[in-house]
Amino acid sequence: MTKMLSVQNQIVLITGASSGIGAACAKVFANAGAKLILVARRLKRLQELADEVSKNLAADIYLLQLDVRDRTAVESAISSLPPSWSEIDILINNAGLSRGLDKLHEGDFQDWEEMIDTNIKGLLYLTRYVVPGMVKRDRGHVVNIGSIAGHQIYPGGNVYCGTKAAVRAISEGLKQDLLGTPIRVSSVDPGMVETEFSEVRFHGDSDRANKVYQGLKPLTPDDVADVIFFCVTRPSHVNINEVVLMPVDQASTILVNRRN
């Protein structure tokens, strides 16, 4: 039987840890004894998560209030990590969002900028500032959270789908550029996961957001965190390049099974 790699005492940086998939990853990795750097803009939410995790475990957690769109802030946050936190082993580029579901020719410029700046540029900034240390230390794993939206386009998905297609290309490119090093790169690409995602997409319209998951059983953030954990705990010669996971009630971005 394959022996899992341990993440005990590994330093894992998770962006977008204040909610959804990122928060679920924090719990899974803390349970396995990893040291966590949790990144998001909402520090209070990170603090609440850290308190919850620490209730049951002697977890080692470092909180970083950071907007991943701000390149200077990302550079300074990464370069000023205390020495005991600076050698990041696993980077989980999870922070991301969709805004709106408008037709492209009617789209909102601010929504576009926010998606492109977060999902593409934010992910690139973290990667650019963290991976050189991995190369120097000759160890590391980057997990990018893509989406089924990077594989299949749906009406109104236009720019969000474009950002996730970019994440897919960036993951593949990073893997190629790191060939010859032991650093691994994975893209984990879920279908529908019930998180704050749809509420954010519809700018706080929770009725509209709830309808997205109505009558079907979506993935949970824990389902996705499990798959991420699986990717990073494979033996060190195994690279899981890409995982697409969907709820059983979903067959494509537009084909879903609703019971009402």
For binding to ligand 8X3 (CB under 6 A), which residues are involved? 147-149, 157, 192, 253
Closer to ligand NDP by CB, 7 or 24: give it.
24
Q: What is the rounded CA–CA span in Å between residue 120 and residue 129?
A: 14
Which of 62, 125, 129, 160 is an active site residue?
160
Residues 17-46 close enough to bind ligand NDP by CB under 6 A? 17-22, 40-42, 45
Q: What is the DSSP secondary-structure string of 126-157?
A: HHHHHHHHHHHHT--EEEEE--GGGTS--TTT
- CB-CB contact of 159 with 101 (8 Å): no
Is residue 95 within the footprint of ligand NDP (CB under 6 A)?
Answer: yes
Residues 103-142 close enough to bind ligand NDP by CB under 6 A? 118, 122
Closer to ligand NDP by CB, 17 or 131: give it.
17
- CB-CB contact of 47 with 65 (8 Å): no
**Residue 253 interaction partner, one of ligand 8X3, ligand NDP, none, beta carbon < 5-8 Å per kind:** ligand 8X3
Closer to ligand NDP by CB, 6 or 210: give it.
210
**Is-catalytic flag, 213?**
no
- CB-CB contact of 192 with 256 (8 Å): yes
Q: What is the rounded CA–CA span in Å between residue 89 and residue 134?
A: 7
**List 10, 15, 158, 187, residue binding ligand NDP (CB under 6 A):** 15
What phi, psi does 90 have (nearest 5°)? -135, 125
**Residue 203 interaction partner, one of ligand NDP, ligand 8X3, none, beta carbon < 5-8 Å per kind:** none
**Residue 195 interaction partner, one of ligand NDP, ligand 8X3, none, beta carbon < 5-8 Å per kind:** ligand NDP
What phi, psi does 145 have (nearest 5°)? -95, 105
Least distance in Å: CB of 12 to ligand 8X3? Answer: 22
Q: What is the rounded CA–CA span in Å between residue 244 and residue 219?
A: 12
Closer to ligand 8X3 by CB, 10 or 253: give it.
253
**List 10, 127, 147, 158, residue binding ligand NDP (CB under 6 A):** 147
Q: What is the DSSP secondary-structure string of 33-91?
A: T-EEEEEES-HHHHHHHHHHHHHHS--EEEEEE--TT-HHHHHHHHHTS-GGG---SEE
CA distances 170 to 99, 175, 176, 183, Å, are 21, 8, 10, 15
Residues with catalytic function: 160
Contact residues for ligand NDP, defined by CB under 6 A: 15-22, 40-42, 45, 67-69, 94-97, 118, 122, 145, 147, 190, 192-193, 195-197, 200, 221
